[in-house]
Amino acid sequence: MSDNQAVLKYLCDQQASMTGLLKDLVLMETPSTDRDSQLQIRQRLKAEFEEIDYRVNLVPGRNSGGHVYASPKNRRRQQPAQLMIGHCDTVWPIGTLETMPLELEADKLRGPGVYDMKAGLVEMVYALRAIESLGLTPGVAPLCFINSDEEIGSHESTRYIRALAQRVDRCMVMEPSLGNSGKIKTARKGVGRFEVIVKGKAAHAGLDPGAGASAILELSHVIQKLFELNDPEHGTSVNVGVIDGGIRPNMVAPESRAVIDVRVQTQADAERVEAAIHGIESVTPGVSLVIEGRIGRPPMERTDQNQQLWRIAQELGEGLDLALEQGTAGGGSDGNTTSLFTATIDGMGAVGDGAHAHHEYIYLDLLPVRCALLTLLLLAPPLNN
């Protein structure tokens, strides 16, 4: 029996066990903003990794629930390493299970966080279990990093991710696949958030409007300039998602603000749009602008090294009768960061739909197959010999 067949058979035999672990993780509600909610899942993941002879560090967080770093105890000296990365936090608040319960419906498992991305964590654990149980030896040591602040920008964990990415041969991001066809994400848009604060001057709107300087009028001009930066053909979107301002209808508004979401496909576009936003100047007399923000997640581009890793995954997929395709995601992940330093592919997690949506689900019958793909990728030789 070939390694492909042995790995797939082992994981298909483990499907019930994989499902059990996934259900346990989903029942642990873990919103990013609730630090205490992360304790139980981190302890459970620690126990899972320790069962397969991994050394586990629970990395404390200051504003987050902390992170999990696991590495093999038997790693050889000077052995190259590879990184699997995922997150245990979700967008769903405590109590979501009451209105969005964990449910098994034919071949679909539904529940908050099941697709994004607790199924990816299960794949991570069981890929390592398969390697251990089948007596296989990866030439590249698999490391694991799981953070608890990805859904809110990975502000605390990015420094660890950057450090790890610079030390590894490649990185597999266990975010869910792209769409029902299970596409691997080989590109992601960069994501930025900006805020424009307009300072004007208050005056009575009826008695002496000329004595004021309307922050709302100026904001209307700023918004038009922001929307002019949209370039759908090149994948650039600039969206003013929140505005507010003014005090009363009979007052010239002394202050207003806008919050802007930016998505870009290349680093060149990131630099251009960021400079354009910070370069906006006021046109209304007596008004000033304060502009803050940046592109916080750089784009994940289809670099040569990323495409090399993608082709290996595609070839391994063929051996599992998977006709894999690559795709571009509009949202960011920690793969945007790792791609700056090492070969990265994303969307290695479950096939399903409904990330951040009430219909969130995965296809359970595809879970062992996706996990087999990950396992075979972990057994691949180093890219940089």
The confidence score (pLDDT) of residue 222 equals 98
Distance CA 141, CA 139 (A): 6
What ranges in 102-150 are assigned the alpha helix state H? 119-133
375 CB-side CA count, 13 A: 33
Distance CA 156, CA 172 (A): 20
The confidence score (pLDDT) of residue 253 equals 97
The confidence score (pLDDT) of residue 4 equals 86
Helix (H) or strand (E) segment spanning residue 260:
strand 255-264
The answer to whether 367 touches 119, Cβ cutoff 8 Å, is yes
The confidence score (pLDDT) of residue 384 equals 75
Domains for the chain: give ranges and CATH numbers: 3-188+300-378 (3.40.630.10), 190-297 (3.30.70.360)
The confidence score (pLDDT) of residue 231 equals 96
The confidence score (pLDDT) of residue 18 equals 98
Please state, in angstroms and as integers, the Cα–Cα distance from residue 369 to each residue in 92, 225, 320, 341, following that order: 28, 48, 7, 29
Q: What is the pLDDT of residues 253-309, one digit of tens each?
A: 999 999 999 999 999 999 999 999 999 999 999 999 999 999 999 999 999 999 999
Token pair belonging to 192: 């930025």
Q: Consecutive sets of 10 residues in the chain, 385 residues long: mean pLDDT of each? A: 88 98 98 97 98 97 96 94 98 97 95 98 98 96 98 95 98 96 96 97 94 97 98 96 96 98 95 98 97 95 96 96 94 95 98 96 98 98 84
The confidence score (pLDDT) of residue 385 equals 59
The confidence score (pLDDT) of residue 256 equals 98
Burial bucket for residue 336 (CB in 10 Å: 0-12, 13-18, 19+) = buried
